Structure 1
Amino acid sequence: MRFVTYSEDGRTGLGVRSPAGIVATGYPDLREYLAAGDTAAAELERRLASGAPAVWPERVLSPLPERSQLICVGGNYADHLAEAGLAPTEPVYFPKVWSALLPPGEPVRMPEPTTLLDYEVELAVVIGRTARHIAAADYLDYVFGYTVVNDISARDVMNRERLQIMLCKSADGFLPIADEIVTADEVELDGNTISCTVNGELRQKATLDQMLYDIPFLLEFLTRWVTLSPGDLVTTGSPGGSAMGRGPSAYLRPGDVVTASVAGVTSVTTTVAEASW
């Protein structure tokens, strides 16, 4: 199933996409749906089987519940490590602040201090139940589904100071997210293509099996240290082809249109705009 969060009559709702439109789950967001467990899932199955009427929301929102953790993985493809000049010996994680999450359809605004705005397509995992010290073999017990994000960076910030990762990665809107979460039972992720285009030009392309650390290992390693909660997001790294590895002319400018995609999962298209503050 493909879950979306929407706004209608001033209230939020969680729904699933169907041929007829969006069918409401009866819950306001993913966190409350997951908290209801099997009861919510059974109720949704009944709604779908009975042909419940579709809703036509005013707006589709970010699919994540408010204040979910946003945890990113860096350097998980060999070609991206090469263009970055890095050689880590274990998975590298970093957080993004909540205000970095950019709802679907909103432009990413280029902060005035930066001239080197970069893109990075990433598959993201959405957690379905509390996860602590999980075993790699059991990872699917904790995964609700998948979505796609674009990990935006201000490279000139890190060029000045390598340790300044928060300002480089967490400016307002620096994590555009697709408008849906695809449940884990609906998609196989073996050799899916992950790609990014800028104004229709292919910039990044790889397959998910080129990850240095797969999703089971990433979650096992992370949850040795961090407790994950339902609705939290964990990205899985980006392949080579970012502007950092292509040169100055490849960096994003106002008016550029960036599409980040994972075959069989979803995509997110974002327009770059000038700063509004």
Structure 2
Amino acid sequence: MQFISFTHQGRNSFGAIAGGGVIDLGARLGLSDLGQALRRRPLDALIDEAGRNAADLPAAQALDAYRPVVADPEKILCAGLNYAEHVRETQKERTERPTIFLRVAESQVGHGQPILLPPESARLDYEGEIAVVIGKRGRRIPENQAFSYIAGFACYNDGSIRDWQTHTSQWGPGKNFQNTGGFGPTLVTSDEIGENEVLMLETRLNGLVMQRATTDMLIFAIPELVAYCSSFVTLSPGDVIVTGTPGGVGARRQPPVFMKDGDVVEVEVSKLGVLRNPVRSEIPERCAD
């Protein structure tokens, strides 16, 4: 099943795609966010609720706007340097444990929404990735049980402001500018993806392929990431683990390729669809008095 988060007629909600339309689960449950729903009800209960109802909203393309698949995660944990080719192009050393950094929810946008190039930088880079959404609470999850804790998967663009990322050894500022990370278009539930299935990831900028890899190329596989992250923090339903980007990022090309106003960036993952975002220059808001 595919879940979608959206805005329609001025209201935030989420639902399931079925029969060419959308079952508005948010309206039925009195909730506005998928993360909130996952924290209150098991994923199976949401699937069952969707299965008992027919679509009551138009096709997803007719909704006012997509939101990030999980717009209200408690945590977004991102793996860096998790493909060997990306390690080589950054001239870094391969680490014995996953490199994990954090994103904030406000840094994300949904499918079709503009990724913003801030006035503070011209070095906005794409990073096509696969996101994992946690479906049930867990701490110190064994690798061989990790898949059972996953609600589903989605495409992710870990958009990065490269000069701000390298101000210091901490990457946080460059990874958290508002509206720089794409997340969507939908959450494909884990029952649609085989536990050991290999997925193909491709990133395109204005139609040109910039990155291509498969999940069997990950240095730390998805079960390892779930187990590792759950070792130091309790994973909650709706939490997001972003699994890393392959080689081919714009900053490491010769000459470098950074996204600019008017560009269109796409992240396609087999069985998960295509996340597409236009790039727009941000119009700075005036500082409030």
1:36 matched residue in structure 2 = 41
Confirm whether residue 222 of structure 1 aligns to residue 229 of structure 2. yes
Letter in 1 for 2:57: V
Distance 1:9 1:199, change over 3 A: closer
Counterpart Cα distance in 1 of 2:80 and 2:55: 43
SS at match of 1:223: helix
With over 3 angstroms needed to count, the CA separation of the structure-2 counterparts of 1:32 and 1:108, relative to structure 1, is: closer
SS of 2:88's equivalent?
A: helix
Q: Deviations over 1:132-160 (max 9, x none)?
A: 1101111122100001110111112244x
TM-score (normalizing by structure 1):
0.92
| Separation in structure 1 between the aligned mates of residue 245 and residue 275 of structure 2, nearest angstrom | 15
Amino acid at match of 1:4: I
- 1:125 pairs with 124, 132, 135, which one? 132
User: For the residues of structure 2 that align with 1:249 and 1:36, how far apart are their CA atoms?
Assistant: 46
* Distance in 2 between residues matched to 1:206 and 1:265, nearest whole Å: 15
Residue 287 of structure 2 corresponds to which residue in structure 1? none
Letter of the 1:124 counterpart = A
CA contact (8 A) 1:130 1:228 kept: yes
Residue aligning to 2:122: 115
Is 2:57 aligned against 1:55? Answer: yes
- Which consecutive unaligned segments of at least 5 residues does structure 2 have? 285-289
Matches of 1:116 and 1:80 in 2, distance apart? 18
Task: Tell me how far apart the structure 1 counterparts of residues 170 and 45 of structure 2 sit (CA, whole Å).
Answer: 45
- Tell me which moved more, 226-235 or 38-47: 38-47
TM-score (norm 2): 0.88
Residues 54-133 of structure 1 correspond to what in structure 2 (within 5 A)? 54-56=56-58, 57-87=63-93, 88-133=95-140
User: Paired residue for 1:141?
Assistant: 148
Structure 1: where are the runs of 5+ without partners?
none
Deviations 1:241-266 (A, max 9, x none): 00122134412121111101111112
Identity across matched positions, percent: 29
Q: Is the 8 A contact 2:65 2:112 kept in 1?
A: no
Alignment-derived partner of residue 273 in structure 1: 280
Pick closer, same or farther for the CA change 1:249–1:217 going to 2, 3 Å. Answer: closer
Give the 3-state SS of the residue equivalent to 1:130 in structure 2: coil
Change in CA separation of 1:133 and 1:259 when aligned onto 2, cut-off 3 Å: same
Corresponding pairs, count: 272
Confirm whether residue 155 of structure 1 aligns to residue 162 of structure 2: yes
Quick one: structure 1 residues 60 and 274, their matched pair in 2 at CA, closer, same or farther if it must change by over 3 Å? closer
**What do you get for the CA RMSD once the two structures are aligned?**
1.8
In 1, Cα distance between the equivalents of 2:20 and 2:203? 30
| Equivalent-residue separation in structure 1 for 2:8 and 2:186 (angstroms) | 17
